């Protein structure tokens, strides 16, 4: 008994994604929805709120470790990883632009 092959638009999908929409309008809506999610994620990744949150968590974690190890002036030593994080967030966009220009 032969099985019917699905048409290219029906039932076709990737292992990790939903079925591919059949009409151009559905495909366009799916692309626009994805683009909105990507833009939202990019905005979060570059936001000051995220940087401050990561800095606070880093400071709290470093403080707890240094305090537990009985390091004198643990509250000052905990600033070092936070400064490293901030320097990396400031320098990475510059390095990225340089890499993109040399890669092309």
**pLDDT tens-place string over residues 50-59:** 999 999 999 9
Give the per-residue pLDDT at 66: 97
Range of the domain at 65: 25-103
Predicted pLDDT of residue 68: 97
Region of 20 please: left (phi>0), alpha (psi -120 to 50) or beta.
beta
Query: Does residue 9 belong to any structural domain of this protein?
Result: no
User: Mean of the pLDDT values across residues 40-49?
Assistant: 91
3-state DSSP call for residue 46? Answer: coil
Q: Which of 98, 90, 80 is nearest to 51 (CA)?
A: 90
Classify residue 33: in a domain, yes or no: yes
Given pLDDT bands bounded at 50, 70 and 90, which one contains residue 37?
Answer: very high
What residues have CB less than 8 Å from 29, skipping those under 6 apart? 21
Interatomic CA distance for residues 55 and 52, integer angstroms: 5
Domain tally, the chain: 1
């Amino acid at each position: 008994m032969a099985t019917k092959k699905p048409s290219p638009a029906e039932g076709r999908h990737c292992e990790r994604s939903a079925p591919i929409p059949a009409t151009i309008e559905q495909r366009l809506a799916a692309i626009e929805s994805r683009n909105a999610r990507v833009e939202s994620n990019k905005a979060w990744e570059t936001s000051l709120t995220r940087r401050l949150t990561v800095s606070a968590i880093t400071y709290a974690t470093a403080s707890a470790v240094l305090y537990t190890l009985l390091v004198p002036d643990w509250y000052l030593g905990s600033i070092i990883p936070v400064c490293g994080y901030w320097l990396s967030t400031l320098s990475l966009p510059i390095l990225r632009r340089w890499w993109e220009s040399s890669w092309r």
